[in-house]
Amino acid sequence: MIVLEYKLNGNQYQYQAIDSAIRTAQFIRNKALRLWMDGEKVNKYDLNKYCAVLAQEYPFARQLNSTARQASAERAWSAISRFFDNCKKGIKGKKGYPKFKKNSRSVEYKDSGWKLDEKTKKHVTFTDKKGIGRLKLVGSRDIYFYNASEIKRVRLVKRADGYYCQFSVKVNVQIETQPTNKVIGLDVGLKEFLTDSEGNTVENPRFLRKSEKALNRANRQKSKKFVKGKKPQSNNYHKARNRYARKHLRVSRQRKEFAKSVAYCVIHSADLVAYEDLNVKGMVRNRKLAKSISDAGWTIFRGWLEYFGHKYGKITVAVPPHNTSQDCSNCGQKVQKSLSTRTHVCAHCGHIEDRDSNAAKNILIKALRTVGHTGTFALGDLPSWAIADRLSSNGESVNKESPTIAT
């Protein structure tokens, strides 16, 4: 399953119709969630049937395509089932109790409610009663290589710089490659984005830090135009708010494209890639390092690494991060050191090496001990994106192959 994304060209009335469809999808999801919260014993199919009840009760819900209503109910069930799964697994802390959506940015259609131009494939037409109509697709020509029957889902996404259309295409993404006869371990960090077990490093680009001055300036301009208690705010405020959002979107895209390119190079350089199974969500609770950790984009990088590993038949292994920086890669003895100590000096065997390079070697050693048992996606244990038949719930996709539209 791959996701192809295109920017949409339309008029103001069509964009307003898309906004209406997004609000309706959010309404249906929240109503389905409310039905479950009220103590009703429902399952996925009961929520799908409930969509028909909502369509009869609310005329604006009836205007949305029936499969789009069902997809919205499925989003609610996805949140409910994820909560139950976390409770069964006994995950510590919050279990992810489902919440109502306030600012949804997307609406999803299944196999009806839309039609792609058969000849040119440069336009897509939405046929429900929301009035979206025919929209032009701007982007790569990848959609030309697939039949309409292979497109399983279509999603409209609203972002700061416009509206986008995503096509979820059911195809086999696996490609055979020649073996390199190499294995590497990766250690991600803040000083260097990446250090491998062979001593190679990749510089941390720090996109947010470099754009922070411009972001703060745009934020101040937005705040100056905000009038407390005024509803609605002025057009100038909304323009400033949009400029601020576009700058953040640009930083986000830079981070994703960087992670994608690095992951692609890493996967093609070895047959087995080992990395740490980091709890990034817990690490960002450190208020002194939270911004730097978020700016590094380790989770995005891991997602692309696993996707390319599955696509090109390479083994990716996630190992526990315990003591990878403290243990000596030469003798295995533990050498305590603080975060400020950047050189590993073993008092037992005299081994001296860069801290991150030593950690990368320890990660590779752990991976070779556990390969074939945990963390590998080349031996039949596919990640969630490889077996899912839906797009991701936030309008993004870790396996989106079409190039990003520049702002």
Q: What is the CATH number of the domain that holds 320?
A: 3.30.420
Per-residue pLDDT, averaged over 314-318, amounts to: 91
Structural domain includes residue 336? yes
Determine the Cα–Cα distance for residues 283 and 252; give it in Å rounded to an integer: 20
Q: What is the pLDDT of residue 143?
A: 85
In a domain, 101, yes or no: yes
Which band of pLDDT confidence, cut at 50, 70 and 90, is reported for residue 348? confident
Do 254 and 348 sit in the same domain of this protein?
A: yes
| Residue 231 belongs to some domain of the structure | no
**Residues 101, 200 within the same domain:** no
Same domain, 199 and 127: no
Q: Give the mean pLDDT of 218-234.
A: 92
User: Do 372 and 289 lie in a common domain?
Assistant: yes
CA angle 293-295-301, nearest 5°? 85
Nearest to 73 by CA among 61, 89, 63: 61
**Whether residue 198 is found in the same domain as residue 113:** no
Encode pLDDT of 49-62 as tens digits.
999 999 999 999 99
The helix/strand/coil state of 383 is coil
Residue type, 172: N
Q: Is there a single domain that holds both residue 42 and residue 97? A: yes
The yes-or-no verdict on residue 115 having pLDDT over 70 is: yes
Q: What is the mean pLDDT of the chain?
A: 86
Question: Has residue 35 got a pLDDT over 80?
Answer: yes
DSSP state of 373: T
Residue at 176 is within a domain? no
Q: 321 lies in which domain range?
A: 183-207+246-386
* Ramachandran class of 394: left when φ > 0, alpha when ψ lies in -120 to 50, beta otherwise: alpha
Question: Is 114 found in the same domain as 163?
Answer: yes
Residue 224 near residue 234, CB atoms below 8 Å: no
Q: What does the alpha-carbon distance between residue 27 and residue 50 come to, in Å, rounded to a whole number?
A: 13
pLDDT at 389: 38
Asked whether residue 237 is domain-assigned, the answer is: no
Per-residue pLDDT, 47: 92
Q: Which residue has the tokens 């992810």?
A: 96
| Domain-terminating residue out of 169, 197, 217 | 169
Domain finish residue from 115, 145, 169: 169
The verdict on residue 228 lying in a domain is no
Residue 310 exposed, middle or buried by CB count within 10 Å (0-12, 13-18, 19+): buried
Segment 174-189 mean pLDDT:
89
Give the helix, strand, coil percentages of the chain, each rounded to 5: 45, 20, 40
Looking at the structure, tell me whether residues 253 and 286 fall in a common domain. Answer: yes
The answer to whether residue 239 is domain-embedded is no
> Could you tell me if 201 and 128 lie in one domain?
no
Say how far apart CA 196 and CA 143 lie, in whole Å. Answer: 37
Is residue 100, in this structure, part of any structural domain at all? Answer: yes
Residue holding tokens 């490889």? Answer: 386
Which one, of 164, 144, 140, 162, lies nearest residue 154 by Cα? 164
Q: Are 224 and 195 in contact (CB under 8 A)?
A: no
Write down the pTM of the prediction.
Answer: 0.84
* 16 shares its domain with 144: yes
Does residue 164 share a domain with residue 110?
Answer: yes
- 265, pLDDT greater than 50: yes
How many domains does the chain contain in total? Answer: 2
In 323-366, beta strands by DSSP E: 343-345, 352-354
Residues 15 and 149 in one domain: yes
